[in-house]
Structure 1
């Protein structure tokens, strides 16, 4: 699925090049006090927008390519306020023989969501031919299904008090959560998800509120859940007597082992644990910061809350946490958003006769994008490996 996403993005840029108008060559970029740099080719397309083209003749010079393209894109973002790197198409024409360059290209397109294309030049009977570079399957092998496994998820939960007149429960509203409460909780979730997306996390965020008759038994009936893909999950990455192990591909184990063996001996014993611990700490800090920003107020008062770190599977299967609750809109970021939205597009694109649960699908796909249950179940299903299907 990720390979299809990347190749579709590359193809869209290639299609956009048909309308590309080259505006300049050897375009000089000047900054006060800096050395003048030059863009090889510069153009604009009505379909894809700005395009920066860099030509590299050999593997030795192509190593600098993405550093230079990044600098060029940053320059245009600085002189056209509001422009982002994602809106600038960077096109590298180079042999693509260097592993470092190929790795950088995949990271830019898949990991950093950049609009980049690489074209490989060749001379055929005096005619220059450009062939599109598509990363091979080996670049996607590390994105295993178990990356979406419940055990790969790290959960930060912030439970907080009822706020009279602002965020109330359903106890005085015929067992229906008030619209203003729903709007407030969804806004908080959305704010946190935007921050996590900006910070590069792959996550889902949503709010719940305990049912009125139950909420009175809880000091904090409102909960915001931020659920992260944990790249350092111990079931995928662990160490026993100096040997890396885990439920993952042998090649990935080998790569981690190679790094582990070069870590300073004094740091090696708890290296993996420290990576995971630091990831947890960063996730907690960012969620807390964004939550606090949502409750700045004129009274200078503090909203009472507590932070917990529940197991994701336990959250979803708990009657108290997920059944006797109002589960509100859910927001996805990063790879989770890409994977989920592409799966939804696939399901609605398939003939209804081909899927046995078609009667359970809402008539329009928008309902599946913010409803918590479909997101839980689909991501869980995609996280099951072939050996468990």
Structure 2
């Protein structure tokens, strides 16, 4: 805990540690290694990913130089916006530092950090926040700011770091904040399971000469068909990535003998993480219930209790689930339509919203089909890549190069199918 005031601490850092800010940092540690013989669980991979990123940002700070204090961002007006400390280096780029010594003000500082990063993105068009390093120097006591930190670091990909200031024997230090393991367990329990996956399918007919079945092709679709369907999947995945949707995207085609019985034998499958799953969160006579951790349900209950009667009758979680489904359908449908534009008119599309578990276990939809390349987006992609990295580090990959593991259906399926497993909720 700091006894010195925020302004004096800011001035001390700027006057005494312009070129060796990093010398005050303590508490850096390496991520834990998985010691079991089995494959590590999702929460372990999430923690490893986050802690590796924290350490990467720390390493970039070794050559940080502080170049301004109380940097004004808006010259006009009686109260210009001021950044506590501003710095840069060839490794950390633009670096913004906000200082707060109390739990009551650290939330405000975190919000200001995000706003400052957005400001520089507007000053330098084309820059995104991943190119800006944001440092929050605060006690990191409040649950809200801890939650927000993990969200920005892990889900939103921000280049953000939290350091906790303290004084010992007349010297100042900045201790690295590593989120507790329970945060990553929460992600696994509440996101990576069948109850949190929303599935949308877009089916369409064969397009002779362009997308044909495997009849007469030795049991496999023609290569031009495979290329076309994979290209459509890839385009949809890029669209979802841009909208911040975490998903698995792949195309299937019914086996030749079966394809003739289906008017729409080609299907694009999208399984997306649904943050508003009604199975996870819903209302029952004024109570928030669902297959979720009690702490999370209590947080939603606290919000629900403050709604108007009209708001309770039209509970916003249910309405947001409908909105999410609508946005997901529109994004997938519009991208498929774009891919199938041609001079002969629109291609008929059939939209489905099957149960994800049911589709995974369906013989017709998951077995008697040619399952093509699988593309992952967002956090699902990050977890899959962590799995690939882990396998190579342990010497357990049977292929020579990582690129061979990026999209093959069986490899993605083998890892992602485990997301349906759910530990008992405590």
Normalization by structure 1: what TM-score?
0.87
5 Å matches for 1:318-333?
318-333=362-377
Q: Tell me the residue number matched to 1:281.
A: 326
- Measure the CA separation in 2 of the matches of 1:127 and 1:367: 52
- Measure the CA separation in 2 of the matches of 1:375 and 1:387: 25
The number of aligned residues is 380
Q: Tell me the residue number matched to 2:244.
A: 200
Q: Tell me the residue number matched to 1:169.
A: 213
Q: Tell me the residue number matched to 1:291.
A: 336
Q: For 2:390, which of 346, 357, 364 is the aligned residue?
A: 346
Q: For 1:266, which of 289, 292, 310 is the aligned residue?
A: 310
Task: Please state whether the residue corresponding to 2:406 is helix, strand or coil.
Answer: helix
| Cα displacement (A) at 1:300 | 6.9
Task: Verify the 8 A CA contact 1:209 1:327 in the aligned structure 2.
Answer: yes
| Cα displacement (A) at 1:17 | 0.7
Task: Verify the 8 A CA contact 1:145 1:384 in the aligned structure 2.
Answer: no
| Cα displacement (A) at 1:132 | 1.1
Distance 1:184 1:371, change over 3 A: same
| Cα displacement (A) at 1:270 | 5.4
Task: Verify the 8 A CA contact 1:118 1:133 in the aligned structure 2.
Answer: yes
- Measure the CA separation in 2 of the matches of 1:168 and 1:24: 63
Distance 1:152 1:101, change over 3 A: closer
Distance 1:149 1:57, change over 3 A: closer
Q: For 2:415, which of 371, 378, 389 is the aligned residue?
A: 378
Unaligned runs of 5+ in 1: 353-357
| Cα displacement (A) at 1:32 | 8.4
Q: Tell me the residue number matched to 2:36.
A: none
Distance 1:252 1:64, change over 3 A: closer
Task: Please state whether the residue corresponding to 1:64 is helix, strand or coil.
Answer: helix
Q: Tell me the residue number matched to 1:20.
A: 64
| Cα displacement (A) at 1:177 | 1.9
Q: For 1:181, which of 218, 221, 225 is the aligned residue?
A: 225
Distance 1:183 1:34, change over 3 A: farther
- Measure the CA separation in 1 of the matches of 2:273 and 2:257: 34
5 Å matches for 1:1-389?
1=44, 2-30=46-74, 36-145=80-189, 147-269=191-313, 271=315, 272-297=317-342, 299=343, 301-350=345-394, 352=396, 361-386=398-423
Unaligned runs of 5+ in 2: 1-43
Task: Verify the 8 A CA contact 2:194 2:419 in the aligned structure 1.
Answer: no
- Measure the CA separation in 2 of the matches of 1:28 and 1:244: 45
- Measure the CA separation in 2 of the matches of 1:34 and 1:219: 68
- Measure the CA separation in 2 of the matches of 1:234 and 1:28: 46
| Cα displacement (A) at 1:195 | 1.6
- Measure the CA separation in 2 of the matches of 1:118 and 1:270: 38
Distance 1:149 1:106, change over 3 A: closer
Q: Tell me the residue number matched to 2:16.
A: none
Q: Supply the RMSD in Å over aligned alpha carbons.
A: 2.8
- Measure the CA separation in 1 of the matches of 2:108 and 2:153: 17
